[in-house]
Amino acid sequence: MKALLSIKSEFVKRILSGEKKYEYRRRVFARDDVEAIVIYETLPVGRVVAEVEVEKVLKDTPSALWEETHKDSGITEQYFFSYFSGLEQACAIELGNVRLFDNPLLLSEYNPDLTHAPQSFVYVE
């Protein structure tokens, strides 16, 4: 199973460069069989640009998760704690091998059933 995630351009660049090895989310997959993330780079790009292996999903308090992942976070501590403000649990998807698409695709080209970018993520085959 794969999950298509909407990710801002600045973070996509950091994922592709290897600077960002964790994708942080307030909530994460209910399923435990997600093996890859399909990256939809948000506007102005507006394309499906890459696929990344999921190594594992981490869940912990924001403080503990930051302590474990900050060296490869690709974001600032201030941004991290602002993002998880008021939450008792934070989630991080550890990213593995990245496969950049030679020709980025419109959502409808990737999957005709997708008519708009997901707010967070959507499961795809």
CATH number of the domain that 107 lies in?
A: 2.30.130.30
Q: Per the structure, how many domains does the chain have?
A: 1
Q: How far apart are CA 78 and CA 95, in angstroms?
A: 22
Q: Which two tokens stand for residue 7?
A: 């990710």
Structure pTM? 0.94
What is the identity of the amino acid at 42? Answer: T
Q: Which two tokens stand for residue 29?
A: 């997959």
Q: What is the domain extent for residue 51?
A: 2-124
Q: Which tens digit of pLDDT belongs to each residue from 74-124?
A: 999 999 999 999 999 999 999 999 999 999 999 999 999 999 999 889 999
